[in-house]
Structures are given as C-alpha cells and as structure tokens.
Structure 1
Amino acid sequence: MVLSGGALITGQVVLARYAGSVQTKDLFGDQAAAQKVSDIKGPLNILLVGIDPRTDEQTPLSDSIIVVHVPAGLDQAFLFSIPRDLVVDIPPFAKTGFRGGRSKINAAMGYGSAVGNGKHDVAQGFELLAKTVERLTGIARFDAGAIINFGGFKKIVDAMGGVTMTIDQNVKSEHLQPNGKPRPRYSRCADNTCAHPYYGPQAEYKVGTYHLQGWQALDYVRQRYGLPKGDYDRQRHQQQFIKAMASQALSKDVVTNPVKLDKVLKAAGSALIFDGNGHDVVDWGFALKNIRSTDMTLIKLPGASLFDGGRYVGEGLDPSATDFFSAVTQDRLRTFLFEHPEYFNKNS
C-alpha cells in the first residue's frame, strides 16, 4: 500500500491534500525519537500488516505480514511475506505485562494490544509485532510501517474501477457465494466436526487473467483452505495483489482521471494507519516515486509444517532463511537471489 501510494503521485499539491486523511499513529513505541531530521534515504525496510476490521473489544490478529525492502538506490522493491503461523520467539512487552514466549507470530499483535478494561489498541499491538519481526529478521528498526484494513482494500479497488490480476491456480471461496454475498454457516458444530462451518455454493476463481471487482480481489487473496500449499499460496496471491494494485494505480485510466484519482486517494487514506518515522505520506511518496510495479520482486520464504507427536503446531522456515535475512540487513538481496533463484515467487 505504501508503494501503491507512491505510484499515485501526480504532484505534491495533489498528495498533500489527502495526507491529512491518512491516520497516523506511533506504531513503533518511540515517537519521541522519530523526528524528521533529513530526507528519506535507502536502504529501507517497511512493515505492512493486514488485519480484518475489528472493534476495540476484539483481539486483533495479523493475518498478513509483509516486509518491503528497498535498496539504497530507491529504485526497486523486494516483497516477502512472514507466514502467519510461523513459530517464533515473541519478546516480553512491559505495556501489557506479557512475559514473552514461543508462539505463532500472528499472535504477537494480540499479546501487545491490550490497554485495559477489555479494550485493545492495534497500534500498540503493531509495536510488539514489529519487535518480533525485527528479532526474527535481524532488522534493527523498521523505517516505516502501516496497518492496512482489509475492508479498505476493497474500497481502493472499487475506486480504481477494479484491478486486473492473473490468477495462477483454481481457487474456491470459503466465505462467499458466486454473487459476493456471505455463505451461510452452520448454527452449531458438535464435537468440532465442522472446522469449516460454511455451506452452499462457492465463488470460484479460475486460472487466467481477469479484471476483478473489489470484493472478488479481496476474497481471492484471503483464501488458503483447499490450496495445495495453504497459507504459502495465499502469501503469493497477496503479493501479486499488491503488485497488481500498483500497476492499476499507475494506469492512465486512474492518474489522468481527476474524479477517479480523487476517489482512490480518499479510499487509500481511510484504509491505513501509518507511521513514517517522522516523515509523512508526501515525503514517502516522493522518496518512492521511481518505483513501478515492474520494479517489484516477489519473494517466497521456504518453510514447512511443524508437528509435535503428530499434532500440528505451526510453521518453520528453511535454515537458508538465516542467510536470506542477513542479505536483507546488509542490502545485498540482488546477489542472494541470483545465488538462490528458488526464493523467487513463481507467476509474479
């Protein structure tokens, strides 16, 4: 989304008009230290977290965790996803009294979000998730971060008039009917016999290139059940979606259409909570203005399921991921990928 926002720039005056509509919060817990002192310079690491719309009384979960690495030249972007079920060490977090422990990484936001009286703050939860990802990857500190509301994705796509995507495998929707309405659910599941409590006709997405409506694009990239590689397939689809959105945002149909551009920028503003480390959306947009969708490289982290006595406990990364993370922190991803082509996401 940050990259897509950069792609939407047609001038500082235009973007500045909407900068105030983007909700900004201290996502890293160190706002006092995040003062704008210079221009944005690479290399950069950006943390993007996708969540479902939830009330402040519900524990937030990070369903999508994507790291964007931008090399020193600010001319390319490498996107890699952290598996939501990756088993990691989550550090202690004094603000909630969490003592730290080993768990699935998507729980970190929940452990960090409690603010008392049964309330939760997603920005505070992001802080612990960021610390967890930093510990995992060796990234000292993220340069920017954003929480992206999945419902906001739909609004952005609809404002652009849809998005053209290449679907690389046949997918059936767990959640929606062919007309986009929710599938009915069983009222009761005895003895945990219905792990997937939906029934009835399903929306289907066939292999090929299609122009998708907002609800279709969002539904497609949320699916993982029934896919050969489960969440790893979903990670690839989400990365492809971001790249397709950036391409669509750059199209003449959007940037030269004032009415449509106005709708897109407003939708993007309402979909984000952003922390630019002392820099606002305008600064970041111009820093990334030369990156196009063709400059985005989609990366997969190889991993496998972990079991304890036959019981599934989560996901683990291939040992080579240690070298991959070192390449990220040392800004030598190009060399690493040349030596490890298996890290490229196919159909990207």
Structure 2
Amino acid sequence: MTPIEEELRATFERHEALTPAVGPVRAGIEVASVRARRRRLIRRATGAAVAVLMAGSAVPVILDRWHHGSSPSVPTAEFLAAEPAPAGPLDVLLLGSDNRLRWPDRNRRADTVMIIHVPTDRTRAYLVSLPRDGEVKLPGGARSKLSETLLSGGPELTGKAVSELTGVTFDATVTVDFRALRAVTAAVGGVRVCLPQAIKSVHNDKTYPKGCQQLTADDVGPVLQARYGLRNGSYDRDRNTQLFLRALAGKLAADGTVTDPARVHALFTAARDGLEITGDPAALLRVAGSLNSPGSPIGISERTFHGMANGREQIYARVGPSLYTALRDDTLAAWIAANPAYIVK
C-alpha cells in the first residue's frame, strides 16, 4: 500500500463516525423518488383534465376502476378521491395556440380565447368565445389585441388581461395547440362536424362543403384556422371551433370513451404533448366528472365586428357588462334566455 493510500484509509477511519446511517438516507431517497413520481403523475393527469375541459366534456370517473399498478400516466383512485369535487362554479380560460414552427414555443399567438364555465349546479358546461382581435387592457394601463398577449407575455398575461376585462378569476388556464387537437381527433377515429357554411382552406387547398361531414386529424387545422372567405371572418371561425369541440364532447360521451379508463388513458396520452395548464389538475378532474350533461356544452359567441376609434375591436360591445356579470354571478342560464341570439347553433 502506498503512503497516499495509507493516508486516505486513515482519513476515512477518522471520519467514519460522522457517516450518516444508511437507513435514513435510503428512506430520504425513496421519499424523493415518490415525490418525483407524484409530480410526473400530476403533470400527466393535468393533460387529462385539459383534454376533458377543452372539449367542454366530462369524464365520469369510475374510481373503483382505477387500480394500483396501472400505467403511471393513469390517475389512481386515491389521487382523484383525496378530496371531494370543489363546490361552486368553475371558470377555466382556454387558449388555442397556433404554435407554428417559425416561432419558438413561447412566441405563440392565441387563435382561440374561450372561457369554459361550469355552474354550481353542474347541469352542463358553457363555452364563451372572446374575439381574438378585441382590445384588452394590460397591467400598467397599456392596451393590446387579445391574441397578441400570448405572444408578449404567455398564458399568464392573457389570463390577467381577460380577468381585467371580465372581472372573472380563473381556477385554471389551459393552453392547447393543434398537435393536441390532431392527436385527439386521430385517437377517437375522427369527429363528425356540421359546418354552417362551406370552407375553402388555404392550408390544404381543400373545400369542405356546408353540412355534416367526418373530419380527420389532417382536417382539424385547415378547418379550425379558416376565416378568409367566411361571411363573418374570425367570428365564424370561433363558431366552427365551438362546433368542433361540442361534436368531440358528444362523441366522447356517446361512444363510451368517458367510462372506459383504458380508452381515456389512451386519449390523454395522445393529447398531452400539446397541452399546458396552470391550476389543480385533481380538482379539475373531479369537477369535470360531476357534469350532468357531458356531451351538451352551450356555446356563446360574438356575432359581428364592433370597431373602435383606434381601429381595434370592442369585445361584446352591446352585452359585455351583463355577460361578464352573469359569469361572475353564475347566472349564465338566465342570461342566455334573455340573449338567445348569441348562442352558437
């Protein structure tokens, strides 16, 4: 043994008493590992909540059908049943990002901005579209187009701008891009959508006729991004987006997907790469699972352009204050009865 090796051995022997016991260290490592797995589970369950809510749908989760030992991306019964579904209304801000390849992930514009409102009575979900080119007030007093807030400050800035406009405090903000919508559409075998007018897409040079037709994953982007040639431009695009989400929700409810954990898991796994969320995913799942009519969301959309002196658009110029009050007071059903022209049909 060399002198250096002898010195090292002696040093180790002198400090051996300071070495921590193996048991507590191992236990700490195991706790950290469990926490890491739990964080991964929450992120993946987040995708589940988003997929449910972006369709205005619900998964009536059958808790006793989730088992230990399942794929780690499937929420366990304990995870979902840790607390009862939150009481009161739920408001989620849904952002449809274009996420085009020429921009980094952060630099996205919001093609779709929608409020998903679930009332206290859980009768059904409401989808409230906000015009993407409408003017909103930013923190500090500056003003911007709604669609550009995602580009300049991400989902957080968009959420603050919509809260400033409506007075609604959001329980979660969900960002979904066309990767997720294409993946979900492929996973369910296509979605049958009834278009109120023909669409000539500039993305694939294909014409989609007026009427009911089956849309594949490849059709999602061309149809939902189309606005040129439509009678009311981006307003008709918002309505087409709502019609697609309603049709998807109806299919998930009708074909048994929402009651089959294996199929739900496959759907969430397909969609999660194009999803982001802030909020409590477990709470979102529990609220979504409590909806009475998962396949029948009611859509609300602006009808026409309302110009401002600066050339921008005023959002819900005629009914904005009453609409926002109905959202805050959880009285949308009464508001719709008084304003039927704003219902998406």
In 1, the alpha carbon distance for the partners of 2:230 and 2:252 equals 29
| Structure 2, gaps ≥5 residues long | 1-50, 76-81
Q: What is the CA-CA distance between 1:81 and the residue it aligns to?
A: 0.6
Please give the alpha-carbon distance, in whole angstroms, between the structure 2 residues aligned to 1:281 and 1:14. Answer: 17
Change (3 A) 1:57 1:340: closer
Deviation string, structure 1 residues 256-287 (Cα, Å, up to 9, x no partner): 77875543231133332122347355434434
Identify the residue that residue 119 of structure 1 maps to in structure 2: none
**Paired residues for 1:1-348 under 5 Å:** 1-3=51-53, 4=55, 7-12=58-63, 13-14=65-66, 20=73, 39-53=85-99, 56=104, 59-92=107-140, 100-112=141-153, 125-139=154-168, 141-176=169-204, 202-252=205-255, 254=257, 261-277=264-280, 279=282, 282-288=285-291, 290-294=292-296, 296-306=297-307, 308=309, 312-345=311-344, 347=345
Structure 2 residue matching 1:7: 3-state secondary structure = coil
**Cα 1:156–1:101 shift into 2, 3 Å:** same
Structure 2 counterpart of 1:344, one-letter code:
I
Deviation at 1:47, TM superposition (A): 0.7
Matched residues in 2 for 1:147 and 1:205: separation? 27
Which residue type is aligned with residue 79 of structure 1? Answer: L
- Equivalent pair of 2:242/2:299 in contact (CA under 8 Å): yes
TM-score, with normalisation over the residues of structure 2?
0.73
* 1:145, distance to aligned residue in structure 2 (A): 2.0
The secondary structure found in structure 1 opposite 2:305 is strand
CA–CA separation in structure 1 for the residues paired with 2:224 and 2:247? 12
Question: Structure 1 residue 216: deviation in Å?
Answer: 1.1
C-alpha offsets along residues 109-160 of structure 1, whole Å, 9 cap, x if unaligned?
2221xxxxxxxxxxxx111110100111111x10122111211100110011
Taking the aligned partners of 1:308 and 1:19, their CA distance within structure 2 comes to: 54
Identify, as 1 or 2, the structure richer in strand: 1
Letter in 2 for 1:299: I
Secondary structure (helix, strand or coil) at the match of 1:63 reads strand
CA contact (8 A) 2:116 2:125 kept: yes
Aligned counterparts of 1:74 and 1:144: Cα–Cα separation in 2:
17
Displacement of 1:9 after TM fit?
Answer: 4.5
- Kindly indicate whether the alpha-carbon contact (under 8 Å) linking 2:224 and 2:237 is maintained by their aligned counterparts in 1: yes
Q: Secondary structure at the match of 2:282?
A: coil
Q: Distance in 2 between matches of 1:10 and 1:261?
A: 10
RMSD of the alignment, in Å? Answer: 2.9
| Match of residue 97 from structure 1 | none
The answer to whether the 8 Å contact 2:302/2:342 transfers is: yes
Paired with 2:177 and 2:120, the residues of 1 have a C-alpha distance of 29
- Cα 1:297–1:235 change in 2 (3 A) is same
Deviation by residue 1:277-319 (Cα, 9 ceiling, x = unmatched): 473554344344x33222x11111244242658xx43454323
What is the identity percentage for the equivalent residue pairs of Structure 1 and Structure 2?
Answer: 28
TM-superposition CA deviations, 1:61-118 (whole Å, max 9, x none): 11111101111111211111111100121223xxxxxxx4112111112221xxxxxx
Q: Which has the larger radius of gyration?
A: 2
Paired with 1:231 and 1:286, the residues of 2 have a C-alpha distance of 32
Q: 1:163, CA displacement in angstroms?
A: 0.6
Distance in structure 2 (CA, Å) of the matches to 1:246 and 1:66: 16
Paired AA for residue 269 in structure 1 = R
Contact 2:56 2:126 survives alignment (8 Å): no
Q: Secondary structure at the match of 2:86?
A: coil
Q: 1:281 to 1:267 in 2, by over 3 A?
A: farther
Q: TM-score, normalised by structure 1?
A: 0.73
User: What do the CA deviations read for 1:27-61 (whole angstroms, capped 9, x no partner)?
Assistant: xxxxxxxxx98641221111111112356465221
| Contact kept? 2:190, 2:215, Cα under 8 Å | yes
| Code of the aligned partner of 2:109 | L
**1:227–1:21 Cα change, 3 Å:** farther
Residues 91 and 131, structure 1, Cα contact 8 Å, conserved in 2: yes
**1:109 aligns to what SS in structure 2?**
helix
State the SS of the aligned residue for 2:113: strand
Question: Does the CA-based 8 Å contact 1:9-1:286 persist in structure 2?
Answer: yes
The structure carrying a bigger helix percent of its residues is: 2
Contact 2:95–2:112 (CA under 8 A) maintained in structure 1: yes
The code of the aligned residue for 1:2 comes to V
Contact 1:303–1:317, Cα closer than 8 Å, also in 2:
no
